[in-house]
Structures are given as structure tokens and as C-alpha cells.
Amino acid sequence: MTPKKADRLATGILYGIAGIIVVILASLLLYILAQGLPHVSFKFLTTPSKSFQAGGGIGIQLFNSFYLLFITMLVSIPISLGAGIYLSEYAPNNWVTGLIRTAIEILSSLPSVVVGLFGFLLFVVKAQLGFSIISGALALTFFNLPLLTRNVEESLKAVHFTQREAGLALGLSRWETVTHVIIPEALPGILTGVILGAGRIFGEAAALIYTAGQSAPALDFTNWNPLSISSPLNIFRQAETLAVHIWKINSEGNMPDGPTVSAGASAVLILAVLLFNFLARFLGKRIHKKMTSA
């Protein structure tokens, strides 16, 4: 075989592999959307679910998913930002840093069920937070932190060393260099990672079953007192999310139209995650453009 032929063959095989992946992904997406979208309506998206009758919606679960995501990000972004900045900019190259990196790697490879059960023991039982949004958010933080930290660290490290030199040589302190030169340059990367992480969290079920709970009590959307039990803002209430709802319907659902609700909810979930991905790309590019030509 001549090198030219071998090259053609290899290119062909690589195209084939890439094609298979695209086909699998596309057929999965299309199947879920085709099954579910016909059942999605404004009413479906806004009404509460029903346990024993047909015609329930996913309104509360949808709200819970977004709210839980928001609370999780509120906890995990500052921590991962701090940890990422430390690891990338300040950490000396010694065994302590190595230990931290190893710990992060191990944490990121924990199965989410384990994280969920750990969260159940620690937050729900020991800390007596019960099945609640805060328990779920803390468990998801455990789940999210390693990847987010790694993302922040990698994004900061991708900023070229000469930029750090430029900042320092200009008489900026190390902190000023980090906050005014390095972070702005790394921002598109960090943001992309955050949004992709958000997509992962949005679709997470296993870690939430035993922490945020499996029921969605009725909410009063006119009650904005965060301490009231029926307020949507209360972080100590049980909150079944969309992904948990899908799992619940399929494992022990009692409603007669379970399969249709499940299909509709899955379509909404997939759409939301897709939206997160597109948003990540769009915002990443947009901010980069804005930053680099002010």
C-alpha cells in the first residue's frame, strides 16, 4: 500500500467513526424529541403533576430544576473559582498540591449515586436538613466542584505565561495581574465550563433522589417569603426535579398517562440541556469578542 492510499484509508475510517457517533447522537435526540414534543404544551409546562390521574404537568419540577441549579451554582462557583485560581496561580509544585489534585480527580470519578447517598447521610440525616433543596444543592456541589475547579484551572493555565510577565513587569501585583489580566482573558473558557456543568447538573437524577427528595409539594407562586413552606424560594422544602420526576414515573409511577408525561418531560430536559450547550458556545464567543476588541 502506498502512503497516499494508507492516508486515504485512515481518513476514511476516521470519517466513518465520526459519522457513527453523529448518527447515534442524532437518532437518540430525534427519537426523544419525536416521542415527547407532541405532548409538550404551555399547560404541560406550567401545571403541577398529578400522582393518580391523567393530565398532570411538570410545572413545579421544571421550576425546581432551575432553582436547584441556581442554588448549586451559587455555592459551587465561588469555591471552584477560588480553588482553580489557587491551583493555577499560587500553588507551589509540591506534594500538598499533588494531593489536592489527586483528591479532585478521585472526587470527579465518584458515581453520582454514591455522592447522593453520602449527601443523604451527611446533609439529610446528620445535619438534619431533611430532603430539601439545600441538601440537594450541597450534594450537587460535591458532584460539580471537581469538574468546575479543573475547568477554571485549565482556563487560567491556557493564558500564556507572557501575559503574566507583562502584567507583573508593568508593576501590577500578583493579585492584580490575576484579577485584571488573567481572569478576563480566561473568562470565555470559564463561562463555557460553567454552562456545560450547568447542563450536567440539570440532567442529574441519581444524586438528588435521596437528597432533594422525590415529591414536589404544591407551590404558591405569589408567596415570595423565602421562609414560608409553600414559597418557591424556600430552600428547605422538598423539591423533585425534572430528571428525578422522569425516573420516578418510570420506576413507580401511578398515573395512567405515565409514558406520555415521561416522554414529554424527557423532551423538555433534552431541549434545556441542548440550550445550555448552545448558550455556552454563543456566550463564550460573544464575550471573547467583546473582551478582545473592547
Partner 1 sequence: MAIITSKDLDLFYGEKQALNQINIEFYEKEITALIGPSGCGKSTFLRTLNRMNDLIPGVTINGEVQFNGQDIYGSSMDVVMLRKQMGMVFQQPNPFPFSIYDNVTYGLRLQQQTYTKEELDQIVEESLKAAAVWDDVKDKLNKSALSLSGGQQQRVCIARVLAVKPDVILLDEPTSALDPVSSGKIEEMLYDLKEDYTMIMVTHNMPQASRISDRTAFFLNGDLIEYAPTKEIFLNPKKIETENYITGKFG
d(CA 270, CA 140): 19
Site pattern 253..292 for partner 1 (x: CB under 8 A): --------------------------------------xx
Specify whether the backbone of 217 is left (phi greater than 0), alpha (psi in -120 to 50) or beta.
Answer: beta
* 180 interacts with partner 1 by CB under 8 A: yes
Task: For partner 1, give the closer residue by CB, 144 or 177.
Answer: 177
d(CA 26, CA 157): 34
* 165 interacts with partner 1 by CB under 8 A: yes
Q: What angle do CA 245, 250, 252 make, to 5 degrees?
A: 90
Dihedral sign for Cα 38, 40, 44, 50, please.
positive
Contact with partner 1 (CB under 8 A) among 2, 4, 5, 93: 93
Instruction: Count residues binding partner 1 (CB under 8 A).
Output: 24
Contact with partner 1 (CB under 8 A) among 133, 181, 212, 267: 181
Cα of 147 vs its chain's centroid, Å: 10
CB of 161 to partner 1, least distance (A): 9
- From the list 6-14, 46-54, 159-167, 251-259, the region that binds partner 1 by CB under 8 A is 159-167
The HSE-up count of residue 197 (CA atoms within 13 Å, CB side) is 28
Contact with partner 1 (CB under 8 A) among 114, 127, 169, 229: 169
* 97 interacts with partner 1 by CB under 8 A: no
User: Cell 409538550 belongs to which residue?
Assistant: 40
Contact with partner 1 (CB under 8 A) among 92, 95, 251, 252: 92
How far the first Cα of the chain sits from its last, in Å, is 54
Q: Which residues bind partner 1 (CB under 8 A)?
A: 92-93, 160, 162-173, 176, 180-181, 184-185, 291-294
